[in-house]
């Protein structure tokens, strides 16, 4: 991708993929994305922030899709068995988007109700500036070093075959695979709060409820 002008128009509004295929082990199992936060589920908060940035929105989840009646989104399940993690969800999104003719997807975790409303724009700008295939989101640590949030990324659907091969070979870390293909970093502010704060535990949900009243 050396020529930014050759990028498809779809890059402005890619297909959005909400990743909800995890096992929620730290929450005690079940679907943490269906937990309530201020009258809406976590996944509804994510969808509300991500949908305006995307051409269309889908959900990556496994099991019975009817439990995700709200939001009313197409569901793409993992095509790789064994719950290998978010890379499988990214692949599922890529494969669904390829059938629908979307050249790019943007991914977001289903348990992050405060994700940036300019996520796609900032990822796109980083990708175009660095002229690499992938862009990942990050926030600075207290020393200013970027902390990567690899489930928030902009991905070309053309890499789906490479990703399937990597998963078959045992690759499981999103950032590791992304960096082998070339990944730009989009740095987001963590002030007044980390927009990528995710709800992993019951204690995190308490924090999220407090944050919701200060956003």
- Secondary structure in 3-state letters for 56-73: EEEEECCCCHHHHCCCCC
What pLDDT is recorded for position 72?
A: 84
Average pLDDT of the chain, as a whole number: 90
Non-local CB neighbours of 189 within 8 Å, separated by 6+ positions: 139, 140, 195
Backbone angles phi, psi at 116, to 5 degrees: -65, 140
3-state secondary structure of 134: strand
Note if the pTM is more than 0.95: no
Res. 30: pLDDT tops 80: no
- Name the band, by pLDDT with cuts 50, 70 and 90, for residue 22: low
What pLDDT is recorded for position 148?
A: 98
Distances (CA, A) of 189 to 147, 178, 192: 11, 22, 8
113 and 212 Cβ atoms separated by less than 8 Å: yes
The dihedral through the CA atoms of 145, 186, 149, 194 has a sign that is positive
Nearest to 74 by CA among 55, 49, 88, 87: 55
Tokens 């099991």 map to which residue?
A: 63
What pLDDT is recorded for position 214?
A: 74
H-type alpha helices, 23-159: 42-50, 86-100, 119-130
Res. 24: pLDDT tops 60: no
- Name the band, by pLDDT with cuts 50, 70 and 90, for residue 10: low
pLDDT, one tens digit per residue, over 79-108 is 999 889 999 999 999 999 999 999 999 999
Superfamily of domain 10-212 in CATH is Spore Coat Polysaccharide Biosynthesis Protein SpsA; Chain A (3.90.550.10)
pLDDT, one tens digit per residue, over 34-61 is 999 999 999 999 999 999 999 999 999 9
């Amino acid at each position: 991708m050396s020529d930014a002008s050759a990028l498809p128009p779809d890059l402005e509004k890619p297909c959005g993929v909400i990743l909800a295929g995890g096992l929620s082990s730290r929450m005690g199992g079940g679907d943490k994305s269906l937990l309530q936060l201020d009258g809406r589920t976590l996944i509804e908060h994510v969808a509300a922030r991500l949908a305006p940035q995307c051409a269309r929105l889908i959900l990556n989840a496994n099991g019975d899709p009817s439990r995700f009646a709200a939001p009313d989104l197409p569901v793409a399940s993992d095509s790789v068995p064994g719950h290998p993690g978010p890379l499988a969800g990214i692949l599922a999104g890529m494969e669904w988007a390829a059938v629908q003719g979307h050249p790019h997807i943007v991914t977001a975790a289903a348990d992050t109700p405060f994700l940036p409303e300019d996520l796609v724009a900032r990822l796109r700008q980083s990708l175009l500036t660095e002229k690499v295939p992938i862009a990942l989101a990050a926030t600075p640590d207290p020393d200013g070093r970027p902390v990567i949030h690899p489930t928030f990324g902009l991905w070309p659907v053309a890499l789906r075959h490479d990703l399937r091969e990597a998963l078959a070979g045992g690759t499981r870390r999103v950032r590791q695979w992304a960096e082998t293909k070339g990944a730009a970093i989009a740095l987001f502010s963590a002030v007044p709060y980390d927009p990528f704060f995710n709800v992993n535990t019951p204690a995190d949900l308490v924090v999220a409820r407090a944050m919701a009243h200060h956003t």
